[in-house]
Amino acid sequence: MHTSTFRLATIYLLVFAASVAAVLSYTYWQAQRLLQAQVEQTIAADVRGIAEQYAVNGLGGVVAVLRRRTQHGVPGGLYLLAGPDGEVLAGNLPSLPAKARRQDHSGWLDFSIRVITPSGPRKRHVRAYHIRLDNGFHLIIGRDIEHLYQFRRVIRNILLWTLGLTTLLGIGGGLLLSRNFLRRIDGITASVRAIRAGRLARRVPVEGSGDELDRLAESLNDMLDQIERLMRGMREVSSNIAHDLKTPLTRLKAQAEDALRAGNEEQRREALQSTIAQADELLRTFNSLLLIARAEAGQARAGFGEVDVAEVAREIAELYEPLVEEQEGSFSLDVPAHAPIIGDRQLIAQALVNLLDNALKYGRQARRKLHIDVLVRRAPEHVELVVADNGPGVPEEMREKVKERFVRLDKARSAPGSGLGLSLVASIARLHDGALLLEDNKPGLKAILRLPARQEKPPRRDDGGSAQAGA
């Protein structure tokens, strides 16, 4: 009963009951007034007729009229002519009502009489006009208004029943509603507790009705999926770090020990320099891992803005062209004027650097003149950044595998690297809702970083309002 649903149901119920009571009372009051006015009008007409008789024929005329009326039966009509002491002279009322005896001027009178019916004596209500004649005689002209009282009783009963039923239905409905609601909330609470207790695979129950609780449950489940994905990623990263950084660290340590043991200055210097190179390589690996983790966590989206992929490609290509020429290779760049996307400029540049690094590093392993192509293609839906080389390429069955962390192909072992380059590019692609595709360049590898193009904003209406706001 403490739930908000129950409270709401109760408030609705109260409002509903109050409205019902108001409508019924108003109807009753209006109908009652109308009926009463009708009764009084007929009595008044009767009074006028009898008063005329009295004016013309005196008491005798009145007695004659009363006799006629009671004999021919005016329906519901009640009459009485009584002497100053109350003795009945004519009419169908059994006696002069006590109230009339106390009233010494003419006016309206309400009283009740007992009548004998087949089912026993009954009390009936009467409304009447009471006239004190000059000589102290009482003349009463009235109507049985029992039907008005019956009407009042019926309305009162309806009111009571309605209120009773509404209350019952309201409380029942409220309890039912809040129980149903509570049951589902309890389901969510139980799942959340279970998850907190470590059963991470548990999910919030969804009923399938598509209502707001279902939507809440679905959102919670999506969130839990995401958290689970992230946690799995983290676990993978940490176990990868543990396994794959052990070897270089051990090597680093061995080299440092060599340096300590080195006989002469020259050897010590060499050993230390190679130690530093190793440490640099390790730092690069760490950086890549951190970048991957950052991209996977979706955190990097905070730094998203408009990036012109064409411009990034031109900039990075400028750095790489001399490196390719150093290898006596050729380099070509095919880039449109602009290729806007929404993303992180630094990460896009890093992805291109990683792809170019690979093209340069592995492209020259084939025994032919190295050639590297960088192109940016624009389509309505996406922008593609392509790096193609004519090296040995990656066999079809390994193209998915090499995107994983620390995966390197056998012939790559001789080249420096940690196997994180492509997995960082793939993470960056995922972060941008894009994809990294590896294809056969016949010969060589063609790496395509596909990114969703920035959607043109709907044309802005430059009306007076925004101009003013701008000022």
Ligand X SMILES: Nc1ncnc2c1ncn2[C@@H]1O[C@H](COP(=O)(O)OP(=O)(O)O)[C@@H](O)[C@H]1O
Q: Which residues bind ligand X (CB under 6 A)?
A: 354, 358-359, 362-363, 389, 391-394, 402, 407-409, 412, 417-423, 445
As measured in angstroms, the least distance from the Cβ of 392 to ligand X is 5
CB of 415 to ligand X, least distance (A): 7
- Binder of residue 412, out of ligand X, Mg ion, none (CB less than 5 to 8 A by kind): ligand X
Least Å from the CB of residue 291 to ligand X: 13
CB closer to ligand X, 5 vs 427:
427
How distant, in Å, are the alpha carbons of 4, 87, 295 from that of 385?
Answer: 55, 121, 19
How near is the Cβ of 433 to ligand X at its closest, in Å? 21
CA distance 373 to 330: 9
Nearer to Mg ion, 61 or 417 (CB): 417
Residue 384 touches which of Mg ion, ligand X, none (Cβ within 5-8 Å per kind): none
Tokens (6 digits) for 355: 């792809």
Tally of CB atoms within 10 A around 364: 21
What CA–CA distance (Å, rounded) separates 192 from 206? 14
Distance from C-alpha of 64 to C-alpha of 187, rounded to nearest angstrom: 88
Least separation in angstroms between residue 393's CB and Mg ion is 14
Q: Say if strands 77-82 and 138-144 run parallel, antiparallel, or are unpaired.
A: antiparallel
434 binds, among ligand X, Mg ion, none (CB under 5 to 8 A by kind): none
Beta-bridged to residue 439, according to DSSP, are 446
Task: Please say whether the beta carbons of 375 and 450 come within 8 A.
Answer: no
Instruction: Report the partner that residue 359 touches, choosing among ligand X, Mg ion, none (CB closer than 5 to 8 A by kind).
Output: ligand X
Say which entry of Mg ion, ligand X, none residue 174 contacts (CB below 5 to 8 A, set by partner kind): none
CB of 315 to ligand X, least distance (A): 21
- Residue 388's binding partner among ligand X, Mg ion, none (Cβ under 5 to 8 angstroms by kind) is none
329 binds, among Mg ion, ligand X, none (CB under 5 to 8 A by kind): none
* 3-class DSSP state of 280: helix
Q: Which is nearer to Mg ion, 255 or 288 (CB)?
A: 288
Tokens of 348: 């896009």
Asked if 65 contacts 58 with a C-beta cutoff of 8 angstroms, the reply is: no
Give CA–CA dist 269/142, Å, rounded. Answer: 133
Strand partners, 140: 80, 130
Q: Which is nearer to Mg ion, 329 or 421 (CB)?
A: 421
- CB nearer to Mg ion: pick between 417 and 452: 417
Q: Name which of 113 and 282 has its Cβ closer to ligand X.
A: 282
For residue 116, which amino acid is it?
Answer: I
Phi, psi of 205 (to 5 degrees): -65, 140
Amino acid, single-letter form, for residue 113: I
SS3 state at 42: helix
Which residue number has the CB closest to Mg ion? Answer: 421
Count of CB atoms situated within 10 Å of the CB of 34:
10
Whole-number minimum distance, CB 324 to ligand X, in Å?
13
Comparing CB distances to Mg ion, the nearer of 81 and 347 is 347
Complex with ligand X: residue 203 or 361, whichever CB lies closer: 361
- Choose between 270 and 357: whose C-beta lies nearer to Mg ion: 357
State the binding partner of 392 from ligand X, Mg ion, none, CB within 5 to 8 A by kind. Answer: ligand X
Q: Which residues contact 112 (CB under 8 A, 6 or more apart)?
A: 123, 124, 125, 126
Least distance from Mg ion to the Cβ atom of residue 358, Å: 4
Instruction: Supply the minimum distance, in Å, between the C-beta of residue 367 and Mg ion.
Output: 21
Interacting residues toward Mg ion by CB under 5 A: 358, 417, 421
Locate tokens 């399938």: which residue?
208
Residues in the chain: 471
Residue 104, Cβ neighbours under 10 Å: how many? 9
SS3 state at 180: helix
For residues 232 and 411, which CB has a smaller minimum distance to ligand X in the complex? 411
Smallest distance from the beta carbon of 425 to ligand X, in angstroms? 8
Q: Which does 427 bind (CB under 5 to 8 A by kind): ligand X, Mg ion, none?
A: none
Cβ neighbours of residue 146 under 8 Å, at least 6 residues apart?
A: 124, 125
Q: Which does 362 bind (CB under 5 to 8 A by kind): Mg ion, ligand X, none?
A: ligand X
> In whole angstroms, what separates CA 77 from the centre of its chain?
68
* Interaction partner, residue 187 (Mg ion, ligand X, none; CB < 5-8 Å by kind): none
User: Could you tell me the smallest distance in angstroms from the CB atom of residue 249 to ligand X?
Assistant: 17
* Closest by Cα among 122, 121, 123, 140 to 131: 140
Residues facing residue 124 across a β-bridge: 113
The single-letter code of the amino acid at 437 is L
| Smaller CB separation from ligand X, 83 or 417 | 417
